[in-house]
Structure 1
Amino acid sequence: MATRTRRAERREEPLSRERIVEVAVELLDAAGEGGLTFRALAERLATGPGAIYWHVANKSELLDAATDALVAGALEARDARSPKSPRDGIRAVALGLYDAIEVHPWLAVQLATQLSRSPWQPVTLRIFESVGRQVGALGVPENSWFTATSALLHYILGAAGQNAANAVSGRALGPGSSRAQFLDDASKTWEALDPDDYPFTRAVAAQMRDHDDREQFLAGVALILTGMTAAPPSSA
């Protein structure tokens, strides 16, 4: 009886698209895209699937809405910081997306999918516009804007996605394992490689062991910006 009462109380709460997206993000965070079903949503929201379909047509639309909500939040947080220069603006966008993907690893796949299959979607356009405006403000020649912005965007999403995937894999190693231990083991393996076949890999083994993911990510952004402004790429 108590359970039915609680469910009845939950049903009295107004069901909105925003609330549906919020719960969808929770399900995606917990179990990835496979965990997002309308049945699971209905159970979590204590409602029927029909009520959800009134607000969202299908799973694809729901994934797009969840992706859009997180990206909008990341970029709004960047805007609130009022960057003092184009470099600061790009760094802020990069960090906003990095942090969002780190918290929500599934987001990397959704962004990559949209970027490659439907670059006209609002999410892709919003990110491209945020980065592109700053690239233009850096003084990059207009005929190189597309190439420069695309390269920077691919790095940001790719590196952030890889770091998020590494974190997920690290958690899957189980108790007693840690990132530091994993990197130490990998570094020792690199150091034991044949020096004639892998001289470079052996030389950077210690750097790999001691690196910080976030600092490495930002260093990559800075490296691209330095090259972009020193010798802007030509689209011709």
Structure 2
Amino acid sequence: MTAEPRTKRGELTKAKLLEAAERVFAEQGYQAASISRITERANVAQGTFYLYFASKLDLFEQLVEDLNRRVRAAMSDGAARGGNRAEAEREGFRSFFAFTAEHPALYRVVREAEYVAPGAMRRHYERIVEGYIEGLTRAKASGEIGDVDPEVAAWALMGVGEMIGMRYVLWPTGEQGAYGSGATPVPEPVFDEMVAFVQRALGVAPPSASATTEEES
């Protein structure tokens, strides 16, 4: 049985192992990846591995949780920059795509989790949706969005972000390649079109339309 690190050095060692696992699982997949390859990549003794993780599966599940925590933090920080729900959606998506470009392993790890650790995969998506539901519920109550079901909208929005990220961040040429090869930012015209689509779906007028209405009045 493993325990959480009690020292700063222990925290750094565990973080190195998680970072190495992120890269190795992305490159080789769960089945082909080995503990020895991960510890070698982390420059950590193989025996040290078992101070932090009970097995390769335990490491994989903790990696899913770690990626989830970090991507949610990035999205939350982005959304917080918005002055209203429309801006929060834009900045939240922008932060999600930036995280995906920097950590393309998120896609492969979560997809493999469907077969390797289905509970971890489900928790990953449910935790993201929970935050979405809270924000959309508040926005609906304040009249910032239309009469939509926050839970349904949250799952739909997550799907939009995931598919756009896969197409334009992971597959910039339109061809499926290795995870992490050639990851790029979402092109601005694509990003603007996606945000406009999301705003229409939520019953939010695009900023330009709002500005025009104010000028006319």
Q: Same fold (TM over 0.5)?
A: yes
Q: 1:84-113 CA deviation, whole Å, 9 max, x = no partner?
A: 212222223222221222222231233456
Q: Could you say what the CA RMSD is over the residues aligned between the two structures, in angstroms?
A: 3.7
Answer yes or no: is the 8 Å Cα contact 1:105–1:165 preserved in 2.
Answer: yes
Which residue does the alignment assign to 2:44?
Answer: 46
Name the residue aligned to 2:150. 145
2:19, 2:120 → 1: CA distance? 24
CA distance in 2, matches of 1:159, 1:124: 16
Q: Distance in 1 between matches of 2:18 and 2:173?
A: 23
Judging changes above 3 Å, is the alpha-carbon distance between structure 1 residues 43 and 119 closer, same or farther for their aligned structure 2 residues?
Answer: closer
Aligned to 2:94: 95
CA distance in 2, matches of 1:172, 1:141: 39
CA distance in structure 2 between the partners assigned to 1:147 and 1:115 by the alignment: 22
- Would you say 1:229 and 2:217 are equivalent positions? no
Measured against aligned partners, the alpha-carbon deviations of 1:160-193 in whole angstroms (never above 9, x if no partner) come to: 12223314877969xxxx9xxxxxxxxxxxxxxx
Separation in 1, partners of 2:95, 2:164:
13
Q: Residue 73 in 1 paired to residue 64 in 2? A: no
Matched, 1:155 2:160: yes
The 5 Å alignment of 1:153-192 reads 153-167=158-172
TM-score, scaled to structure 2: 0.64
Structure 2 contact 74–96 (Cα < 8 Å) conserved? no
**CA–CA distance in structure 2, aligned partners of residues 115 and 223 of structure 1:** 29
Measured against aligned partners, the alpha-carbon deviations of 1:86-145 in whole angstroms (never above 9, x if no partner) come to: 222222322222122222223123345668944775432331122222222331678722
Separation in 2, partners of 1:145, 1:113: 28
Q: Which residue of 2 aligns with 1:86?
A: 85
SS at match of 1:138: helix
Give the aligned partner of residue 108 of structure 1.
Answer: 107
Cα offsets for 1:184-208 (capped at 9, x unmatched): xxxxxxxxxxxxxxxxxxxxxxxxx
**Which digits, 9 at most, give the CA deviation of each residue in 1:62-87, with x for residues without a partner?**
23333333343333244445332122
Provide the C-alpha distance between the structure 2 equivalents of 1:153 and 1:78, rounded to a whole number of angstroms: 11
Alignment-derived partner of residue 135 in structure 1: 136
Q: Does 1:22 align with 2:19?
A: yes
- 1:156 Cα offset (Å): 0.7
The amino acid across from 2:101 in the alignment is E
* Contact kept? 1:86, 1:138, Cα under 8 Å: yes
Distance in 1, matches of 2:197 and 2:86, equals 11
Could you state the TM-score of these two structures normalised by the residue count of structure 1? Answer: 0.59
Q: Which amino acid aligns with 2:193?
A: A
**1:204 paired residue number:** none
Q: Which runs of 5+ in 1 are unaligned?
A: 1-12, 179-211, 231-236
Unaligned runs of 5+ residues in structure 2 are: 1-8, 205-217
Aligned-partner Cα distance in 2 for 1:166–1:216:
14
1:186-235: CA deviation from partner (whole Å, max 9, x where unpaired):
xxxxxxxxxxxxxxxxxxxxxxxxxx6343134223312312226xxxxx
- Corresponding residue pairs, total: 180
Distance of 2:147 and 2:54 partners within structure 1: 40
Once superposed, which parts of structure 1, at least 4 consecutive aligned residues long, lie more than 6 Å away? Answer: 168-173
SS across alignment from 2:149 = helix
2:29 corresponds to 1:33: yes
